[in-house]
Homo-oligomer: A and B are copies of this chain.
């Protein structure tokens, strides 16, 4: 189902010829209203692709009706000409749908620094427009068209207690993904909601889901998460209900991004407890999740707590106050480190499951935070060194 699960949405996914493989590479999502509410969050990278620059300003008024997404080219670092290409795409799709270009958001993913083949893209937009429909297969087609190195399409749905629906699709193959693992997500809902509430709910939901995935510490120029609200269910949800449903869908999609990191052999959940603040817990969790030595050890099925403790020690005390002599570490349930030193025999840790749980207790408070990452593998190196050559 995915993005067509809520009422008031049509979608399409087609092959426009952007990918040399001939695979689907263009997706179109349209909200038929009655509402045209929209919200979005974008990459914090200062080098922002043309579609990010466009969509950021287009959604600033809290309104949008359509999203066009292409794989096969990021349209990043393409200068004013690249921005003109995005603008022209929005104008063209707007004309096809009888919308203002300002109500058309654009997402792109692929190689940085190359112009898009505009004839193929604009021709594909027409094909996609003609293929728009509201059924389940249309949602799946759209989810497939935004895949790059993803092996499966990623979709999720949820329903609020009051009966409004939320659907979502995502692309991004975690740490393996070449070209900075661009993450593109479209969420849809038929709840009746105003722009301010939609924006707040989206930011809250992404902050504890997509923002907690840190597969290789590399932030894309194109990351985008868009929410469209059609209002077609007529159901007025509370902000909390909507946030919960968005969080449920986002969490499922985020987890599927980690699970589809083909280059990875483990999905690693780093959970830090006993922190003074959530920010401190997240800083420590992120440092551990970004340590190449920790990640390589996990690939080798080695519960190397020394590297985990050492990574924690790299976080400045001003960011996360704790006493290194009180650190505790559990790996897959075995307390391999207690009070900063060796405890249970690490040879008893079973590292064979794909999911690895690293629990670190800072012994400095009651706050906690978690990050999902992957291990560092030969396949990661292979796929990220061979991609563009």
Contacts and interface: CB of A to CB of B under 8 A. Distances in A.
B47 A340 contact: yes
A62 interface: no
B339 A79 contact: yes
Interface string A345-378: 0000000000000000000000000000000111
Contact of A309 (B112, B216, B314, B382): B112
Contacts of A74: 306
A32 interface: no
A82 B315 CA distance: 23
Given A292-B217, A381-B376, A381-B378, A47 B309 contact: yes
Nearest to A221: B310
A219 to B, nearest CB: 5
A300 interface: yes
Interface string A304-327: 111101111111010000001101
Contacts of A160: none
A311 B217 CA distance: 10
A293 interface: yes
A114 B346 CA distance: 12
Given A306-B112, A313-B47, A216 B293 contact: yes
A307 B47 CA distance: 11
Given A292-B384, A341-B77, A220 B113 contact: no
Given A79-B339, A290-B217, A339-B79, A306 B381 contact: no
A292 B295 CA distance: 12
Contact of A218 (B78, B114, B293): B293
Contacts of A306: 74, 76-77, 111-113, 179, 221
Contacts of A387: 300, 302
Given A180-B293, A296-B385, A300-B385, A310 B342 contact: no
A388 B314 CA distance: 22
Contact of A302 (B217, B310, B385): B385
Contacts of A291: 217-218
Interface string A108-150: 0001111000000000000000000000000000000000000
Given A77-B340, A113-B305, A302-B388, 9 more contacts: A74-B306, A111-B306, A178-B293, A180-B307, A217-B290, A296-B384, A297-B385, A299-B385, A376-B381
21 contacts: A44-B314, A47-B324, A77-B341, A77-B342, A180-B307, A217-B290, A217-B291, A218-B291, A218-B311, A221-B310, A221-B313, A292-B380, A293-B384, A297-B384, A297-B385, A299-B385, A376-B381, A376-B384, A377-B381, A378-B381, A380-B381
Interface of A: 44-48, 74, 76-79, 82, 111-114, 178-180, 216-221, 290-293, 296-297, 299-302, 304-307, 309-315, 317, 324-325, 327, 337, 339-342, 376-378, 380-382, 384-389
Which 4 interchain pairs have the tightest Cβ spacing?
Answer: A112-B306, A300-B385, A47-B313, A296-B384
